[in-house]
Amino acid sequence: MTPRQLVERALRGGHGPRVPFTIYECMIPQCSAERAMRNRGLCIVERRVPVFHTHRPNVKVSERSYWEDDKRFTRAVYETPVGTVSTLGEHADFTVWRHEKMFKTPDDYRPILFMIQDERYAPNYEAFALAERQAGEDIIFRAGLGLEPLQALVSGVFMDMQDFCVQWMDNRDEILKVYGAIVENRRKAYRLVAESPALHANYGGNVVPEVIGLEAFRDYYVPHYDEAAEVMHEHGKLIGCHFDANCRLLADAIAGTELDYVEAFTPAPDTDMTLGEARAAWPDKALWLNFPSSIHIKPDAEVEAAMVAMLNELDGVDGLLVGITEDMPPERWRDSCTAIMDGLDRHARENPALYA
């Protein structure tokens, strides 16, 4: 089986001759070590080619980049007929640290709402399909549905988390107006993604249960997973969510969703659930792990042993994938990832009945 076939089979709840190992495209450089791992079975997860484009015909966007010492910043200004907002981001490797988001005072609700309602979508299917064909069998392409409507306000470009918490308590009606507009936009995206060439798509993630809480999660997140899943499943597509934080509080609610997989689940010691506990909580969902970041710094033999010990918590390997979804220490990724693959291979050798 090719690396991509292994991933697809696991996402559908099955297994192959070994547990698939994946890494986001932005977290591993093209080099001899990367090529050796791909030859060995590593599958790259490609997220840079969208299945649809978004544009705002009535919003003027201007950007100015500048340097402060060795740091590069970009100021983006969004002009709408009802007001102007701006963001400030600092470029850092594969991500952007957002120092300022659009919302700064309640006056910013009007332009933010206008921008959301001005969004238009267009398929990008041919470009996605071409990129997928040209990439080969050790890359899998993932589509995205965007952040959950409320999560777009919690951790998107609109508000920082502290402002959201204050506004949620003091100005909830305005928050819910913006939330409602995002809901309508997401509904337009569901069918675009479901009818695309992509096999699977993530819907949001990075949910922090200590901030959101169980009640809000059930009321403002779960219904949207299920609504999107219904459309995706009509077209034979899979849907998951990037749950990389503590999940114990939300575990039962996640179990009750129609999501097909839980992506980026990070087992203890980095969160409050072990892999065994996650499998018990979500027996009918594929588990696509993020290997715990804290273990990368350990010696290679301990990294390998930790991988084997995690897998030994399970009675089977159906619907299981191991991935890297967080940045790794630059001086350790080559050896650590090799040790993870050694652990996956060792587990397969020592437990042949599970892989039959």
Q: How far is CA 185 from the centre of its chain?
A: 19
Angstrom distance (rounded) from CA 183 to CA 146? 11
pLDDT tens-digit series, residues 14-50: 999 999 999 999 999 999 999 999 999 999 999 999 9
127-148 average pLDDT score: 97
pLDDT tens-digit series, residues 328-351: 999 999 999 999 999 999 999 999
Domain boundaries, the chain: 3-54+119-355, 57-103
Burial of 211 (0-12, 13-18, 19+ CB in 10 A): middle
State the pTM of this model. Answer: 0.96
134-148 average pLDDT score: 97
Which residues neighbour 319 within 8 Å (Cβ) at sequence distance 6 or greater?
Answer: 10, 11, 12, 13, 14, 15, 261, 285, 286, 287
Angstrom distance (rounded) from CA 136 to CA 182? 35
CATH 3.20.20.210 for domain 3-54+119-355: yes
Helix (H) / strand (E) element for 45: namely strand 43-46
pLDDT tens-digit series, residues 246-293: 999 999 999 999 999 999 999 999 999 999 999 999 999 999 999 999
Q: What is the pLDDT of residue 344?
A: 98
DSSP single-letter state for residue 106: G
54-59 average pLDDT score: 98
The DSSP bridge pattern shows strands 52-55 and 120-123 to be: antiparallel
Q: What is the pLDDT of residue 271?
A: 97
Mean pLDDT of the chain: 97
Locate 335 and state its tokens. 């050896």
148-167 average pLDDT score: 95
Helix (H) / strand (E) element for 269: namely none
pLDDT above 90 (res 198): yes
pLDDT tens-digit series, residues 75-126: 999 999 999 999 999 998 778 899 999 999 999 999 999 999 999 999 999 9
What residues pair up with 90 in beta bridges, in sequence order? 73, 97
Angstrom distance (rounded) from CA 157 to CA 150? 12
Angstrom distance (rounded) from CA 319 to CA 15? 6
**Going along 137-189, which residue ranges are E strands?**
139-141, 143-144
Cis peptide before 269, with omega less than 30 degrees from 0?
Answer: yes
What percentage of residues in the chain have a pLDDT greater than 70?
A: 100
Q: What is the pLDDT of residue 240?
A: 98
Degrees, nearest 5: CA angle 229-168-240: 20
Cβ distance 346 to 304 under 8 Å?
yes
In 10 A of CB 276, how many CB atoms? 16
Angstrom distance (rounded) from CA 38 to CA 106? 50
Helix, coil or strand: residue 62 = strand
